Amino acid sequence: MRYAFSTLGLPGAPLERSAALAAAHGYAGLELRAHPEEPLHPDSPPADRAAGLRVLTAAGVEVLAVAGYARVAAAGADEPVLAELHALVRLAADLEAPYVRVFPGGAGQPESAADAHAVRRLAAAAPFAERHGVRILLETHDSHGTAAAAARVLDRVGQGGAGALWDVLHTWLGGEPPARSRRALERHLGYVQVKDVASAQELTPLGLGAGVLPLAEAVASVPQDGWLCWEYEKRWYPGAAELPGQLARGREYLERLVAGGASTPAQAE
């Protein structure tokens, strides 16, 4: 198993700091938030991308994914969405990242319409992604928060250039047990995002194992050669504890889960 964390937990931090923290605490990869607030995003010039890759390579850290904000199930014209997908794929390719994260964003529409938008756009963008050695991952989020909903789209897309990112929080909020999520995403899974919270009403991020999410069951579903990525949403919850002091404990907790050393999240210190 390989471990990564999202730079959402270090909002606006220089890439050098994120890479150094990953290397120092046993994380092989970073999920890079691709937003103009961050060091690298789709409008970053080639020189910045090349410099960023050098920083990461020197630290021995990979880019697991470029976490974009394209909303593939949203209402509206296809062209702007496809242009955003292509820009994210190019950024991922320049950073030698295997994945691009996208959201559904289909709220306010009939399910059939949101599904149709997502299927059409992912099917159109998937060949472009494959040519660049990248896979576009639809996150279990918002309008398609369960694995069943994401799989409903991806089963219709049916291309290797499109897959799924399993966000354990959102499938749990949708009432979907991890075993059911695993079965739905089995053919589509790229990697798994883990996190922890106190309850469905209190979503301020906690250290892994300190909350109520079924992390042991979710981790048990991940292939041994897969990736687990800790998404600590400090950007949206500025009052949450700082991430750096939790990184070593979080990785050790995940390692215990992978090894079968903790049967439930409540057993963590």
Say if 261 falls within a structural domain.
Answer: no
Say if 169 falls within a structural domain.
Answer: yes
> What is the residue type of 189?
L
pLDDT at site 263: 42
User: How many C-beta atoms lie closer than 10 Å to residue 155's C-beta?
Assistant: 12
Residue 167 burial class via C-beta count within 10 angstroms: exposed 0-12, middle 13-18, buried 19 and up = buried
Residue ranges of alpha helices (H) inside the chain are 15-24, 46-59, 78-94, 111-131, 147-157, 168-173, 178-185, 215-219, 247-258
pLDDT at site 161: 98
Assess whether pLDDT exceeds 90 at residue 261: no
Q: Which has more confidence, 249 or 260?
A: 249
Mean pLDDT of 215-219: 96
Tell me if 66 sits within 8 A of 95, measured CB to CB. Answer: yes
Assess whether pLDDT exceeds 80 at residue 267: no
Task: Give 204-213 pLDDT, tens digit per residue.
Answer: 999 999 999 9
Say if 216 falls within a structural domain.
Answer: no
Task: Give 47-89 pLDDT, tens digit per residue.
Answer: 999 999 999 999 999 999 999 999 999 999 999 999 999 999 9
Sole residue written with tokens 């089963």: 155
What phi and psi values does residue 2 have, to the nearest 5 degrees? -120, 150
Rounded to an integer, what distance in angstroms lies between the CA atom of residue 243 and that of residue 211?
A: 16
pLDDT at site 61: 98
Say if 76 falls within a structural domain.
Answer: yes
Tell me if 126 sits within 8 A of 164, measured CB to CB. Answer: no
pLDDT at site 265: 37
Sole residue written with tokens 């695993």: 182
Rounded to an integer, what distance in angstroms lies between the CA atom of residue 30 and that of residue 220?
A: 22
pLDDT at site 86: 98
Say if 98 falls within a structural domain.
Answer: yes
Q: Which CATH number characterizes residue 150's domain? A: 3.20.20.150
pLDDT at site 31: 98
Mean pLDDT score of the chain = 95
Say if 194 falls within a structural domain.
Answer: no
pLDDT band of residue 221 (cuts 50, 70, 90) is: confident
- Three-state DSSP state, 100: strand
pLDDT at site 182: 96
Say if 217 falls within a structural domain.
Answer: no
Tell me if 135 sits within 8 A of 102, measured CB to CB. Answer: no
Task: Give 106-141 pLDDT, tens digit per residue.
Answer: 999 999 999 999 999 999 999 999 999 999 999 999
Domain count, the chain: 1
Rounded to an integer, what distance in angstroms lies between the CA atom of residue 187 and that of residue 223?
A: 12
Q: Which domain holds residue 147?
A: 2-189
